[in-house]
A and B are shown apart, each in its own frame.
Chain A
Amino acid sequence: MSLLQVRNVTKRFGGLTAVDDVSFDVFEGTIKALIGPNGAGKTTLFNALTGFDRPDQGSVLFDDTELVGRRPRDTVRAGVARTFQNTQLFDGMTAGENVMVGKQVHQRRGFSAAMLRLPASLAEDREAREEAGRLLRLIGIEEWVDTPAGDLPAGIRRLVEIARALATGPRLLLLDEPAAGLNATEARELVQTLFRVRDGGITVVIVEHHMGLVMDVSDEIVVLDRGSKIAEGPPRMIQKDPAVIAAYLGGETDDDA
């Protein structure tokens, strides 16, 4: 079943068309990769899917609800979580607290309940703390739970951000370059983590430059070049696609003539 339907999404910045009429589907329980050279429009597309940016045209249907025009907070509530190319951790807070923030989107106790230390508020706190511990164990970084995020190594920061996104309880997880800054061992572990996440019933879309990782994890790949989709299919087909090879190697194309 198609969990996410991206239809004719276009985003322009002044005269530049960053994303040009892109359509694709993401099927439930799969991992889909979004690749392309720098400036291909991958991150712009991510922003359009998560409410951080509003596309000029097109529609994004998530489980038959329209995401275009929603605020980031509402897309998270609908079940779409994301990470950032430049990790957006809360540096003054520990890794565990960072993940706890992710949990609070589905919690309800606010200022007054906290001021009075109401039992419901304390219960939510405990729940968030337990969930953070569970997720850090799932990702395999539980030993960092009490380390301030500002002191974490780059690779661990990316993983904490993934754990934080998972804490929002998503059905769809969008990861923007999760392997950037990881060494070979960490990248292999990330692949296993992504499989575990998918096996837990969460659909994954990743933007990634690390081709080995993309080929290993993804069921399907969408290739963007200068804002347009130039290819889509399983990894083996993409590897042989002449248009993809041309885009990556900078080969001659018609519009250069």
Chain B
Amino acid sequence: MNGRTLKALVPLVVVAAVAVLPLLITDRFLLKVFTFAGINALVVVGLALLFGYTGQVSLGHAAFVGLGAYTCAVCTVRLGWPWPLAFAASGALAALGGLALALPSLRLKGHYLAMATLGFGELMVLAFREAEPLTGGVDGFGGIPFPALGPLEVRSAGALYWLVWVVVGIALLAAYNVTSMRPGRAMRALHGSELGAQACGVDVVGVKVRTFVVSALLAGLAGALYASVVGFVSPSVFTLAASITFVAMAVLGGTGSLAGPIAAAVLLTLLQYLDALVPGIPRETAQTIQTYQEDIYGLAIVLVVIFAPGGLASFWRRRGRGGELS
């Protein structure tokens, strides 16, 4: 078997492993952790497009997750919509929010998007907290039903896991198609040289705005999944800290890659539940790690930027090029 066949097998093996995981794991809590990893991975696919391919930074993606989560909650509980419709509405509203934010801030040169998203994130948390009649305020919004596809309710831990990862798979496939074709080349081009991209007639603002909207859409869908899996949402989940975590995943995963950020999303999610995953770990060690979690992320970002700008993706990319999924 030559290297190329081997390389083609890697995605298949990974997909198979992700698919059979619920059959191997009986612990429901552990399965839920891997479900959360999938939800985070969905957000990070969008951020990988935005940060890793287009070179734009968002410090407020948790707000889009929140927007999706609350939209799903309101649509299912208050309006009584069927779940698929609520799910779609969550993505659509987040995308709309992304468009409203990206259009004005991306017309300006410089890092206005990062600033705008930072402000937007804080504003949305405030809105989730204060719009009590709609969101339940600081007490949160409970009683959100499980996902249901027609008469089929998805409620077992394994089924929820599969639902989430199927959505991740579809998003990944769509993102891979985008990056390997015309829009993806435009994204990488403007990241490489904005002047050069303009000289090639690339619609620089348009491509940035579209990428941002796609990333907001995926974040909104992830939020809807989160709300439906947990059944309860509260403003504290969608704060700046969560946004930074998503950025850390994207940075750690590496630029110009989709698989790297997904791997980083899974790894950093597992880190949050270290005590549940490693049975022998002393309680205090796990607690210390969780206390300093934010600092660990910050440190990880700094170390990656200084020593391994290619992130996780660069580890397997070094063994020969090609394989755009890497």
Contacts and interface: CB of A to CB of B under 8 A. Distances in A.
Interface of A: 50, 52, 71-73, 76-77, 81-84, 88-93, 97-98, 100-102, 104-105, 107, 109-111, 114-117, 121-122, 124-125, 128, 146, 148-149, 161, 164-165, 167-168
Given A90-B189, A90-B192, 18 more contacts: A52-B198, A76-B199, A81-B199, A90-B197, A92-B191, A101-B185, A101-B197, A101-B200, A104-B185, A104-B186, A105-B202, A110-B210, A111-B214, A115-B177, A164-B196, A165-B199, A168-B200, A168-B201
Given A104-B182, A110-B183, A121-B181, A89 B199 contact: no
| Main secondary structure on B side of the interface with A | helix
B183 A84 contact: no
A115 B199 contact: no
- Chain B interface category by residue count: 20 to 34
B229 to A, nearest CB: 25
A161 B196 CA distance: 9
26 contacts: A52-B198, A72-B198, A73-B204, A76-B200, A81-B199, A88-B193, A88-B195, A89-B196, A90-B192, A90-B193, A91-B192, A92-B188, A93-B189, A101-B200, A102-B200, A104-B201, A105-B201, A110-B182, A111-B210, A114-B177, A114-B182, A125-B181, A125-B182, A146-B321, A164-B196, A167-B200
B256 A92 contact: yes
Given A76-B200, A82-B199, A101-B202, A89 B193 contact: yes
Contact of A115 (B178, B191, B196, B256): B178
Contacts of A107: 182
Counting chain A CB atoms within 10 Å of each CB, which of B195, B201, B255 scores highest? Answer: B201
Contact of B195 (A52, A111, A115, A121): A52
Given A91-B192, A104-B186, A77 B201 contact: yes
A236 B183 CA distance: 48
A73 B189 contact: no
A149 B178 CA distance: 21
Contacts of A164: 196, 200
B107 to A, nearest CB: 12
A148 B192 CA distance: 12
B8 interface: no
